[in-house]
A and B are shown apart, each in its own frame.
Chain A
Amino acid sequence: MSDNIIRLHYDIDADDFSSAGLASSGTKRMLNQLGFNPAIVKKVAISMYEAEINAVIHADGGCADVEITPEKIVVVISDKGPGIPDIEQAMQAGWSTATNEIREQGFGAGMGLPNMKRYTDDMKIETELGVGTKVTLIINVN
């Protein structure tokens, strides 16, 4: 693998729920092609997918930026949604504001943020009410 930084950018569209996950799917395939360890790829894929789904169900979409280097993979998911009023509460396993409609689509267990925390080496949430949310996920390669 060369020392070059690879950057990926995806728009996350919230209009069609069945297309949610395309950014994570594309990133996973790229990481596999680059020959990253499958366990590392899985950590990136799961945590990014959780963040991508959150942007779709809680914030009406957004975008994803991925930076791939031989040392680490950095995923940034940004949205212009309502923001998170209480991050500590949102991080608790089981806490969810998801509606029944979302739950019928298979989300709303309140496990997304805890899962992101578990599968990343570092995670940062920047959020402002009425402005949006930016979630940064960092997975070290070694």
Chain B
Amino acid sequence: MKVKDIIKILDAKLITGEENLELDIVSGCGADLMSDVMAYVKESVILLTGLTNTQVIRTAEMMDIQVICFVRGKCPNEDVINLAKERGITILTTKETLFISCGKLYSAGIVGRGVWNE
């Protein structure tokens, strides 16, 4: 599923990273604690979270995650957006909750499996 399809499914808004709209996303991860995100390495991942600080972008950077969607209508501050831009990370925001967002993407075929463990 492409990033632009995810935008439609979650009725999301693109904050930065237009260059990744055609990127293929296979798996997803939803969490507000970053070490839970880092417990499972996946490929072609979207990270859904309600946390909007710099460390979300850092976590994505360490894990080679290229797309982040902030839930519950959250939008990060300018510094966070700029760091994402610098790192080529796409940011979306949706009004849906974390649970509903994950549910919608899972129903549409996004999986939660890790590639290294499980």
- Listed in ascending order, the chain A residues whose CB lies under 8 Å from chain B are 17-21, 24-25, 28, 38, 42, 45-46, 49-50, 53, 103, 105-112, 114-115, 118
User: Across the two chains, which residue of chain A brings its CB closest to B49?
Assistant: A106
List 8 interface pairs A-B (beta carbons < 8 Å), by A numbering: A20-B58, A21-B62, A25-B58, A38-B64, A42-B64, A107-B35, A110-B35, A111-B38
- Can you list, as one digit per residue, whether each of B77-105 has a CB less than 8 Å from chain A (1) or not (0)? 00100000000000000000000000000
Q: Residue B55 contacts which of A42, A105, A115 (CB distance < 8 angstroms)? A: A105
Total B residues in contact with A, Cβ cutoff 8 Å: 22
Chain A nearest CB: distance from B106 CB in Å?
22
- Listed in ascending order, the chain B residues whose CB lies under 8 Å from chain A are 32-36, 38-39, 41, 49, 51, 53-56, 58-59, 61-64, 79, 117
Q: A18-B54, A21-B55, A25-B61 are in contact. Are A112 and B35 (CB under 8 A)?
A: yes
Chain A nearest CB: distance from B116 CB in Å?
8
Question: What 3 A-B pairs come out closest when comparing CB atoms?
Answer: A111-B35, A21-B58, A109-B33
Q: Is the CB of B33 within 8 A of A50?
A: no
- In Å, the complex CA distance between A20 and B58 comes to 9
Chain A nearest CB: distance from B57 CB in Å?
9
Chain B residues near A105 (CB, 8 Å)?
51, 53, 55
Chain B nearest CB: distance from A94 CB in Å?
10
